[in-house]
Amino acid sequence: MSVNKKGRRKIVCNARLFYWYVQPDYDDCGQIKLNIVSDDKKWIVSYEVGQSKNPKTPHIVIKGREFEGLDRSGWQGWMRVQTPIWKDTIITPELVKTIIEWCFHKKERLIVVDWKGEII
């Protein structure tokens, strides 16, 4: 089953097609989220917009089965990992590309956090 393309922007990164959109998440008090999904729906992430203004280190929510450097065996549900601090007050295609490239870049260590952003 393919991705719903209505209202989504398209971006090609690392020779792979992704769709992205920004919308409020009413299950999370209406926080504005950037959602990025691969065309085959194996790679899905969500990033809360405006985290660069928070005192805590920002994090990304991994919803899909695929993520570089992450072993999903034995883990059910979503995972959250710390990210670099990006200029995220305005969501641009360049920021989306930066997030995708970071997610697919080999990392020495991923820091897993809980829903509050606290290190587990």
**Gyration radius from the chain CA atoms:** 14
Q: Please tell me the predicted confidence (pLDDT) of residue 65.
A: 85
The model's confidence at residue 120, banded by pLDDT at 50, 70 and 90, is confident
What are the helix (H) ranges across 1-120? 93-104
SS (H, E, C) 24-50: EEHHHCCEEEEEEEECCCCCEEEEECC
Query: What pLDDT, in 10s, does the model give residues 52-109?
Result: 998 888 999 999 888 877 766 666 778 899 999 999 999 999 999 999 999 998 878 8
What are the residue ranges spanned by the domains of the chain?
A: 9-113
Cα–Cα–Cα angle for 22, 27, 33, nearest 5°? 20
Q: What is the pTM of this model?
A: 0.90
By three-state DSSP, how is residue 13 classified?
A: strand
